[in-house]
Every structure is written in C-alpha cells, then in structure tokens.
Amino acid sequence: SGGLVTGRLQIQNSRAETERVSKVTAVLLKSRTGEFDLESILFLKLRGLGIYDLGCIGDCINLERLDLSGNNITNLAPLSSLRLLQILNVSANRISNLEDISCCDSLQSLNVAGNLISSIDNIHCLQSLRKLENIRLKDNTYNYTNPVCKNSSYRNILLEMFPNIRVLDGERVVGRGSDLYKLCKDIDETIKAGFYRNGQLPELPGCKPWVDNDFWEIKRSSNAIIDEAYKQFNDVLHECRLLNNRATHVISQTERSLSLKNQPKQYSV
C-alpha cells in the first residue's frame, strides 16, 4: 500500500508541475515527448501551461510542428533557430512582434489569433516566408482576434502582401486571393471577346490561354471546411501514431527489464 500511495503522490506532483510551467526546460521537453535528445523532437504540443519563457525550445532544431497556444508568451526569439518548422500555433498569447519567426524559412501555417498585433507593419516582416500559405489572425470559434483586425481593409492588404496565401483566418481564399490573377482572368476574357467571329472562337495555332480552363473555378465554402477538418484529423492521427510508437518502445523496454529480473541467478562453484 505504501508503494501505491507513493506512486499516487508522484502522479499528483507531476500533474501539478505540468499545470503551470513558467519556463520551457529540457526536462519538460523530454518528459512531454518521451525523447532523450531534443534534436529528435519533431512534434511538440505545450498548450495552456502558463509558459512565458520559451527557454531552450530553440534546441529542438528539427521541430516541424509546434503548438504553444494558450500561454503567456511575449517573446518569440528562441524560435528563430527552427528553420524546419512548418506549422506554428501561438494563438491566445501576448505577442506583439513577429520579427523573430521571419527566419523560419519552412513555415507554411501560422496561427497568431488572440494576440496583441496592432498594425500591418507588424506583419511586413513575414513577407520573406515564401512557403507561407495559411495565416490566422482571428478565430471566431474561440473569439480570438488582434487589434489589427479592426482595420476594415486588413484582409485585402494581407492578400496583396502574400499572393501565395491559400487560407486566411480559416477561410479558403476565393479566386486564389490575388488581384494579379483576377487581372489575368479579365485579360483572357477581353482577348477572347476580341477574337470571336460569328459567335465562335477561331482556332489560333500556338495561342494558349494564360491559365488552364478550370483554374478560375471557385470552390464552395463547404470544401474549405472539409479541408480544414481533414487537416486537423491528420494532425491528431499523426500525434496518435507518435504516442503509439513511444508506448510500444516503453512497453518493450519494460518487458525486457522484467525478463532480466525473472531470470534465475547463476552461481559459480
């Protein structure tokens, strides 16, 4: 019974420690992931722990997905070394400056809803991130926003700043989200109208449209919702696979340890 009580106390203490964590440490990272080496961590979720100091998180140089939502983070400087980071969620924090993540060249998806980003000027630094396709500055589901979202034209400005953006604030960009594409479409239609003869478009050798015929098709909003749900499901599935691999590893180690303990002792004569 004494062992059970001790075990329960240890579990309670570990839970208390993880409920409120002020600084990210190597011990925290290893305990949350089961990895012995910080460079081996690819996926990390540290939601709602009260973190305000990212500490040594920059040592996870191979990190690809990071969830730091619901903390008290103000400084993103330790993330500047994460050049392989693809997905970053820092929603519901106290961030006002994004300049430190402008070095994350592989970043594809960024969620900064529910922070203190006050103006478009605070977002200009992200224009160097050529792979960035998904940006979220507000989330109506959780009532997260930023002061910059009060600007009625901020959405149009962002679409001009990031012509490759596909999803903004959780909604798929209609018409590919670029005035350049719309201009090209208008030019195509004007050229076609000028070529029409007797109500038909004559065949012109070597003349090709600017884009494919189905390029301008606008997808239904329900597709965007399905895509987002599918992506979230894949994230959860990926995490479940990682947990399963770690559990399998721990079980095999435990079984090996028990088998060694149960082996009969041999005595030399």
* Percentage of the chain modeled with pLDDT above 90: 49
Query: Which among 234, 246, 244 is positioned nearest to 41, based on CA atoms?
Result: 246
Residue 73 near residue 96, CB atoms below 8 Å: no
Res. 214: pLDDT tops 50: yes
Rounded average pLDDT over 52-73: 96
Q: What pLDDT, on the 0 to 100 scale, is given for residue 84?
A: 96
The confidence band for 5, taking pLDDT boundaries of 50, 70 and 90, is very low
Residue 48 and residue 209: Cα distance in Å, rounded? 51
Distance CA 67, CA 268 (A): 56
Q: What is the pTM of this model?
A: 0.62
If pLDDT is split at 50, 70 and 90, which confidence band does 3 have? Answer: very low
The answer, yes or no, to whether residue 82 has pLDDT greater than 90, is yes
Q: For residue range 111-157, what is the model confidence (pLDDT) as tens digits?
A: 999 999 999 999 999 999 999 999 999 998 889 999 999 998 899 89
Spans of all domains in the chain: 17-177, 178-218, 219-260
The whole-angstrom separation of Cα 121 and Cα 47 is 28
pLDDT at 126: 95
pLDDT of residue 183: 60
Nearest to 131 by CA among 101, 164, 83, 169: 164
Residue 39 vs residues 95, 101, 106: alpha-carbon distances, Å:
26, 19, 17
Q: Looking at the chain, how many residues does it have?
A: 269
Mean pLDDT of 68-74: 97
- The answer, yes or no, to whether residue 269 has pLDDT greater than 90, is no
Q: Is 15 exposed, middle or buried (0-12, 13-18, 19+ CB in 10 A)?
A: exposed
Tell me the CATH class for 17-177: alpha beta
- At residue 7 the predicted structure's pLDDT band, cuts being 50, 70 and 90, is very low
- As a whole number of angstroms, the distance between CA 58 and CA 73 comes to 14
The pLDDT of residue 123: 95
Query: Mind listing the pLDDT tens digit for each residue in 111-120?
Result: 999 999 999 9
| Strands of 109-111's sheet in order across | 43-45, 65-67, 87-89, 109-111, 134-136, 167-168, 171-172
Identify the weakest region by mean pLDDT among 50-54, 59-63, 158-162: 158-162
pLDDT of 12 strictly over 50: no
